[in-house]
């Protein structure tokens, strides 16, 4: 059985008592079904970097430290200050420097060096996310021609935005060195196809061989899902726990929930404004609804994130200042992470799930909220049309997060929605979750990587036109 090498910025080493994080949940069944080696950054910054290998059953985890300079330039710099904002359509927030780009390339070379020590010719490589775009090229320049796929967890913007990124013309075509490039949505894949057609003049029907000229690259859409039934069961148990009951008993009336990392892509400050418009337009709900926003801080050392922390807390303060009463606080803004179990119960206890990113690759919170509901008395999902999940979740209340009046109106509609309509919408959303469960997501990607004949959802670049003008 061929080994699967999973390569990502961070590695999640399973530890007793620690709940699995995002990527680990997504890759759980791949890690269970195949002998895997997972390689990435240890999370340690160390000027004499070390590499550790940890074995767990038939899987191994190889973690490497980063030098201070590399951490600053690759992670804080190019990945988080250039690729993250630009891929989320925020050219205005990108801070490009050549130094950061060379740090980014250097870490990709470091990863390739480590891989070169352990790879065997029939190992299959699956690279995750925007931190590692040039990795396939770096491996091929070392003569390593393993089958290799790439999955982008975040959005890919159209060429009109991508081309604003300095050095896009060497970086984006580097994806051509992969055998398969996977995206969350057809829209992202179409943007990539349009970039190739426009910038490289591939035309929409040309066979395309980029990079080393060895095999043709293919692209495909593989929307990430969740473990639907397990999450439903978890929510059913969790809603009865002491913790969730205490939260429910502490609020008057209905609960609206938002759960996000503190990131500008998630639109938390804009969402607060939408809630404010709802309170202004629906005085009948004053004192009868509480919006709980759970948001652990992230990337606080980056200026834009620190500014956003400030903007979100001042929006919460403004709303509470204007509307609070002695026995009612309209917004509860909580800056710490909660366990998956606690979140599942809180989702189930909430009448509305407010998921309004300005732009998001998929957004698993939207999927978790739907999975957590009681089918006999479900809550309503309000979802940004700019989340990848909106492609599958047509039965949610879709909103434009740039329009606070529309968000406010959607909250009003959700609060008043009759049970029959809630049940019908939930049934439709839940069916779509089951159709795209995470349990076979890895299998689908790996089957497509093994060859076009096996891939159900991958298309070859000869079919670029399918993506450019989807039927």
Q: Does 364 bind ligand ADQ (CB under 6 A)?
A: yes
360 counts as catalytic: yes
Residue pair 269/315 in contact (Cβ under 8 Å)? The answer is yes
Strand boundaries in 57-174, DSSP class E: 59-66, 124-128, 148-151
Out of 290, 363, 432, 458, name the contact with ligand ADQ by CB under 6 A: 363
Pairing of strands 218-221, 180-183: parallel
Q: Which of residues 291-310 bind ligand ADQ (CB under 6 A)?
A: 294-296
Residue pair 61/11 in contact (Cβ under 8 Å)? The answer is yes
Would you say 159 or 361 has its CB closer to ligand ADQ? 361
Q: Does 89 bind ligand ADQ (CB under 6 A)?
A: no
Out of 159, 360, 392, 414, name the contact with ligand ADQ by CB under 6 A: 360
Out of 189, 224, 256, 257, name the contact with ligand ADQ by CB under 6 A: 224
Contacts of 464 (CB under 8 A, 6+ apart): 193, 196, 197, 202, 203, 204, 205, 206, 208
Q: Is the dihedral of CA 107, 113, 116, 119 positive or negative?
A: negative
Q: Does 259 bind ligand ADQ (CB under 6 A)?
A: yes
Token pair for residue 39? 């390689």
What is the DSSP secondary-structure string of 137-149?
Answer: HHHHTTT----EE
- Count of residues that interact with ligand ADQ, criterion CB under 6 A: 20
Q: Does 332 bind ligand ADQ (CB under 6 A)?
A: no
Would you say 223 or 330 has its CB closer to ligand ADQ? 223
Would you say 294 or 461 has its CB closer to ligand ADQ? 294
CA distance 105 to 97: 13
Least Å distance, CB 47 to ligand ADQ, is 29
Q: Which of residues 137-156 bind ligand ADQ (CB under 6 A)?
A: 153-154
Out of 27, 161, 365, 372, name the contact with ligand ADQ by CB under 6 A: 365
Residue pair 74/49 in contact (Cβ under 8 Å)? The answer is no
Exactly one of 88, 128, 131, 153 is catalytic; name it: 153
Stretch that binds ligand ADQ, among 28-36, 317-325, 360-368, 397-405 (CB under 6 A): 360-368
Which long-range contacts link 51-59 to residues 24+ away (Cβ below 8 Å)?
Answer: 51/114, 54/13, 56/13, 56/14, 59/31, 59/35
Least Å distance, CB 338 to ligand ADQ, is 5
CA distance 196 to 192: 6
Q: Does 188 bind ligand ADQ (CB under 6 A)?
A: no
Q: Is the dihedral of CA 21, 25, 27, 30 positive or negative?
A: positive
Stretch that binds ligand ADQ, among 31-39, 53-61, 106-114, 259-267 (CB under 6 A): 259-267
Exactly one of 179, 186, 263, 360 is catalytic; name it: 360
Pairing of strands 124-128, 148-151: parallel
Task: Indicate which residues carry an active-site annotation.
Answer: 153, 360
Residues making contact with ligand ADQ (CB under 6 A): 22, 153-154, 224, 259-261, 294-296, 337-338, 343, 360-365, 368
């Amino acid at each position: 059985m061929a080994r699967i090498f999973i390569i990502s910025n961070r590695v999640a080493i399973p530890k007793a008592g620690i709940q699995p994080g995002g990527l680990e949940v997504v890759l759980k069944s791949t890690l269970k079904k195949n002998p895997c080696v997972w390689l990435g950054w240890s999370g340690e910054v160390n000027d004499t970097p070390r590499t550790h290998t940890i074995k767990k059953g038939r899987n191994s985890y190889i973690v490497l430290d980063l030098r201070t300079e590399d951490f600053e330039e690759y992670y804080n710099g190019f990945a988080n200050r250039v690729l993250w904002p630009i891929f989320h359509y925020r050219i205005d927030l990108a801070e490009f420097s050549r130094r950061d780009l060379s740090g980014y390339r250097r870490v990709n070379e470091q990863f390739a060096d480590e891989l070169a020590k352990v790879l065997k010719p029939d190992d299959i490589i699956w690279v995750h996310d925007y931190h590692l775009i040039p990795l396939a090229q770096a491996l091929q320049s070392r003569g390593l021609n393993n089958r290799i796929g790439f999955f982008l967890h975040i959005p890919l913007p159209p060429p009109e935005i991508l081309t604003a990124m300095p050095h896009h013309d060497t970086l984006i075509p580097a994806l051509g060195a992969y055998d398969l490039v996977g995206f969350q949505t057809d829209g992202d894949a179409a943007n990539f196809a349009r970039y190739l057609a426009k910038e490289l003049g591939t035309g929409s029907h040309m066979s395309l061989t980029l990079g080393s000229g060895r095999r043709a690259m293919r692209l495909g859409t593989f929307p990430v899902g969740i473990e639907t039934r397990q999450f439903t069961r978890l929510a059913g148990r969790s809603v009865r726990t002491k913790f969730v009951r205490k939260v429910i008993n502490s609020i008057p009336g209905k609960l609206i929930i938002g759960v996000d990392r503190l990131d500008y892509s998630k639109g938390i400050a804009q969402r607060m404004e939408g809630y404010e418009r709802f309170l202004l337009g629906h005085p009948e709900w004053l004192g009868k609804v509480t919006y709980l926003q759970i948001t652990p801080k992230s990337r606080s050392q980056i200026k834009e994130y620190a500014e956003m922390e400030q903007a979100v807390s001042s929006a919460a303060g403004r709303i509470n200042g204007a509307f609070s009463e002695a026995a009612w606080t309209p917004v509860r803004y909580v800056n710490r992470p909660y366990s998956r179990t606690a979140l599942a119960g809180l989702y189930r206890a909430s009448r509305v799930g407010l998921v309004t990113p300005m732009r998001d690759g998929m957004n698993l919170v939207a999927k978790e909220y739907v999975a957590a509901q009681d089918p006999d008395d479900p809550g309503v999902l309000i979802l940004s049309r700019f989340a990848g999940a909106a492609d599958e979740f047509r039965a949610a209340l879709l909103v434009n997060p740039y329009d606070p009046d529309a968000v406010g109106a959607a909250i009003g509609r959700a609060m008043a929605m009759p049970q029959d309509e809630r049940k019908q919408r939930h049934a439709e959303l839940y069916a779509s979750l089951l159709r795209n469960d995470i349990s076979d997501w890895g299998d689908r990607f790996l089957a497509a990587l093994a060859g076009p004949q096996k891939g159900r959802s991958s298309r070859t670049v000869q079919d670029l036109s399918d993506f450019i003008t989807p039927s």
